[in-house]
Amino acid sequence: MIWSYRGKHPCLEILLRTPFGKEHHAIALLDTGFSGDIIVPNTIYDESLELNKWEKGLPKDGTLADGSKRNLVVSEAIIFIPRISIINGYNVSVYKIDKEGGVKEIIIGVSFINKFKFLLDGPAKETRIV
């Protein structure tokens, strides 16, 4: 499967599904600067997926790719990659930045990236799962 970059960034089409049936389909950026599974904008976390109703524990300190420290809250969801055959999806931890700020796009981090073998073709600006 092939996905085009968004600007300079490798991307992947995903579907996030909560255990209680909420879904969000999106193009997410692959980012090795984030060590977790996936981090989403606060509006997607709170409104589209309503994960704020099912958070696990208290906010945790997290370090973003730019070196800044933020409080992160976490919940659980299932991630599917629509263009490949994964019947049950993958259980993932979904993060958001607590309170102020937040990310502007969905970011897939190293913890999830390491489940696959990706080929990033910079000249063609394409992401492939091989």
pLDDT digits (tens, 9 = 90+) for 96-113: 987 777 889 999 999 999
Q: What is the pLDDT of residue 85?
A: 72
- Reported as a single tens digit per residue, the pLDDT across 3-17 is 999 999 999 999 999
| CATH pick for 11-111 out of 3.30.450.260, 3.90.700.10, 2.40.70.10, 3.40.50.2300 | 2.40.70.10
**Residue 52 CB neighbours (<10 A):** 13
Domain boundaries, the chain: 11-111
Find the radius of gyration of the CA atoms of the chain: 14
Pairwise CA distance, residues 95 & 28, whole Å: 14
Residue with the bigger pLDDT between 33 and 126: it is 126
Q: Which two tokens stand for residue 89?
A: 């999806």
What pLDDT shows up at residue 84? 83
* Nearest-angstrom CA–CA distance, 73 and 45: 10
pLDDT (average), residues 44-57? 91
Could you tell me the CA-to-CA distances from 81 to 63, 71, 99 in Å, in that order? 27, 28, 29
DSSP secondary structure string for all residues of 50-88: -GGGG--SS-EEEE-TTS-EEEEEEEEEEEE-TTS--SS
